[in-house]
Amino acid sequence: MELILLGPPGAGKGTQSKLLEARYGVAQISTGDMLRAEVKAGSPIGQEAKKIMDAGGLVSDDLIIRMIGERISRPECENGFILDGFPRTVPQAEALDKLLHETKVDLDAVIELKVDEVVLVERISGRFTCAKCGTGYHDTFKQPKISGVCDICGSHEFTRRADDKAETVHARLEAYNAQTAPILPYYRAKHRLFSVDGMAEMDEVERQIEAVLREVGVPEPTASA
């Protein structure tokens, strides 16, 4: 399965791509996660990216395209992948087409998660993650079962993203509308674009995505995946 999840900040791309990764046994590739790992490591890429991410802008196409080219060629992507947060500009979408053409891989679908802007701000400002295993939570929509304890690994430490402040969220939404939304017509013209209601409950969004995957002929996951 080769899938793109598209949508504005807070639309649920990370939430849904992790669910799909577990269910279909394919790699989730999040350019945001890759960049945050570089920032944490203090690498030259991380230092360059941090200022831009903290301001809510987009990191350069050249850098992102190089990162993705290297990642997609890894053995863990042989069974397929879900792209989360990439492509984000028309040049990135064109570079991905070239990469897929070279590796003789076809995209199954580009799925847009549609969510109203006011809901996005609420979702992002309430988001936190387990500092140890990265499981995502939300102050209102998804609290850990036991307050202050991660459901998955039992850790008591949680973090909030530096770019989840209200003023940065507005800059991120502007970047989405100006630079990322133009790739929707790009994929519509290629008959690859599907939209699902990202305002629905998380499991309903998952069902809608799975319905699209069935429609485009992605095989049902095996029990072991």
Query: Catalytic site residue 74?
Result: no
Distance CA 26, CA 3 (A): 10
Strands 127-130 and 193-197: unpaired
Least distance from ligand AP5 to the Cβ atom of residue 146, Å: 17
Of the listed 23, 142, 161, 192, which one is catalytic? 161
Q: Are the CB atoms for 130 and 156 separated by under 8 Å?
A: no
Quick count: other Cβ atoms within 10 Å of Cβ 49? 23
Query: Catalytic site residue 127?
Result: yes
Of the listed 36, 50, 88, 123, which one is catalytic? 88
Of the listed 71, 127, 132, 188, which one is catalytic? 127
Q: Which of 9, 10, 18 is nearest to 209 (CA)?
A: 18
Between 26 and 208, whose beta carbon lies closer to ligand AP5? Answer: 208
Query: Catalytic site residue 13?
Result: yes
Least distance from ligand AP5 to the Cβ atom of residue 168, Å: 8
Between 162 and 219, whose beta carbon lies closer to ligand AP5? Answer: 162
Between 207 and 219, whose beta carbon lies closer to ligand AP5? Answer: 207
List contacts with ligand AP5 (CB under 6 A): 7, 9-15, 31-32, 35, 52-53, 56-59, 64, 85-86, 88, 92, 123-124, 127, 136, 138, 141-142, 163, 172, 201-202, 205
Q: Are the CB atoms for 71 and 34 separated by under 8 Å?
A: yes
Q: Residue 63: CA atoms inside 13 Å, Cβ hemisphere, count?
A: 15
Q: Are the CB atoms for 106 and 217 separated by under 8 Å?
A: no
Between 27 and 123, whose beta carbon lies closer to ligand AP5? Answer: 123
Q: Are the CB atoms for 11 and 115 separated by under 8 Å?
A: yes
Least distance from ligand AP5 to the Cβ atom of residue 56, Å: 6
Active site residues: 13, 88, 127, 161, 172
